[in-house]
Amino acid sequence: MGAAVLSVQGLGVATTRTPLLADVSFTIDSGERVGLIGESGSGKSLTALAVMGLLSDGVRANGTVELAGHEGNLLERPEREMAKIRGSDMAMIFQEPMTALNPTMRVGAQVAEVMRIHGTEPSKAAAKSRAVELLDSVGLPDPANVARSYPHQLSGGQRQRIVAAIALANSPDLLICDEPTTALDVTVQALVLDLIVRQAQERDAALLFITHDLAVVATVCERVMVMYGGRIVEAGPVTEVFTDPRHHYTQGLLAASDLSMPDGSRRERRSLPTIAGSVPGAGHFPDGCVFRNRCEAATEACTEVPTWHDRGDGAGYACVHPLGADSSSGHGARDD
């Protein structure tokens, strides 16, 4: 594992009226795989878009986003310069491969295009042959033939491999995947996950992996950040966060997603644990702790934004009434 590739400090995103993200801070080292989880509407994709500089008009970001090899804050860069960074030093794989690809263009040309735009290949012909190589490396059979087909002629899994080839074409330092396998069948999902991990490892790239599937995150990532209401509420190594969660939201997610008992047998019917209520709309989260209106442990003390408690090893949580706090060593166990 190497130096920090992406460093996000105090990232906030807001429209003129509504705050959407607040105080999001994290770093990802080269070769590291970090997951970002949470329910829909918790701000995962928005974080990715803010980092990529792809926020729509009327939505503004503040804070700092730094990418290795580029001086200063990415958020302050003009779009012209961001366009140069996107697709070369950082790239993104989107959820729906059908909408991410141009339906009127042969897929080989779409892969070649990203190399021509960033000038990584000297000529059209070189880019074309490199595109075929890339299609081969993402595991597409008969790549020369695939390169000549249009997106609609390919299956969902094949399309997602094309999108991966485009994202990987210029060997980015940072690869962001936004729910890359949600639209795929389970067997195909397993293969695409393997592909993403392998390709990221080969390039020693930093990987930010967004999903709502906890099992997928545990399979792919080493570290995980749990997001809710536009804030990171808990972070740490996957094993630590998933086996010994401190935040009630993390625990709720874990309990709800596990359909089998710890010993692998089936859970009693009608007894699936749920998180009470549902995710409020943007701007309707409570002040103070964003989760307090759905949390059973919430008290008066939760009306103030909880401070970040460090558990060491890059792990931490933002909760006034953490779970299992007495077992932690000193600095985590703070109450009133």
> Is residue 99 near other proteins by the rule CB under 8 A?
no
Instruction: Considering the complex, state which of residue 125 and residue 272 has its C-beta at the smaller distance from other proteins.
Output: 272
Instruction: Considering the complex, state which of residue 140 and residue 319 has its C-beta at the smaller distance from other proteins.
Output: 140
d(CA 232, CA 226): 6
**Exactly one of 203, 258, 297, 325 binds other proteins (CB under 8 A); which one?**
258
d(CA 303, CA 218): 32
Q: Residue 72 CB, nearest distance to other proteins (Å)?
A: 35
Length of the chain: 336
> Is residue 272 near other proteins by the rule CB under 8 A?
yes
Q: Tell me which stretch binds other proteins (CB under 8 A): 65-73, 81-89, 171-179, 271-279.
A: 271-279
> Is residue 242 near other proteins by the rule CB under 8 A?
yes
**Exactly one of 2, 122, 273, 324 binds other proteins (CB under 8 A); which one?**
273
Calculate the alpha carbon distances from 330 to 186, 235, 322 in Å.
Answer: 43, 18, 13
The residues in 186-225 that bind other proteins, with binding defined as CB under 8 A, are: 186-191, 193-194, 196-198, 212-216, 218-220
Calculate the alpha carbon distances from 23 to 19, 43, 47, 309 in Å.
Answer: 11, 12, 11, 14
d(CA 327, CA 317): 15
Q: Please report the DSSP string for 48-103 in residue order.
A: HHHHHT-PPTT-EEEEEEEETTS-S-GGGS-HHHHHHHBTTTEEEE-S-HHHHS-T
In sign, the C-alpha dihedral spanning 315, 279, 264, 215 is negative
Residue 140-159 contact track with other proteins, rule CB under 8 A, x = bound: --------------xxxxx-
Q: Tell me which stretch binds other proteins (CB under 8 A): 107-115, 169-177, 184-192, 327-335.
A: 184-192
> What secondary structure letter does DSSP report for 305?
P
Interface residues with other proteins (CB under 8 A) are: 39-40, 154-158, 161, 185-191, 193-194, 196-198, 212-216, 218-220, 238-239, 242-243, 252-254, 256-260, 262, 264, 266-267, 269-275, 278-279
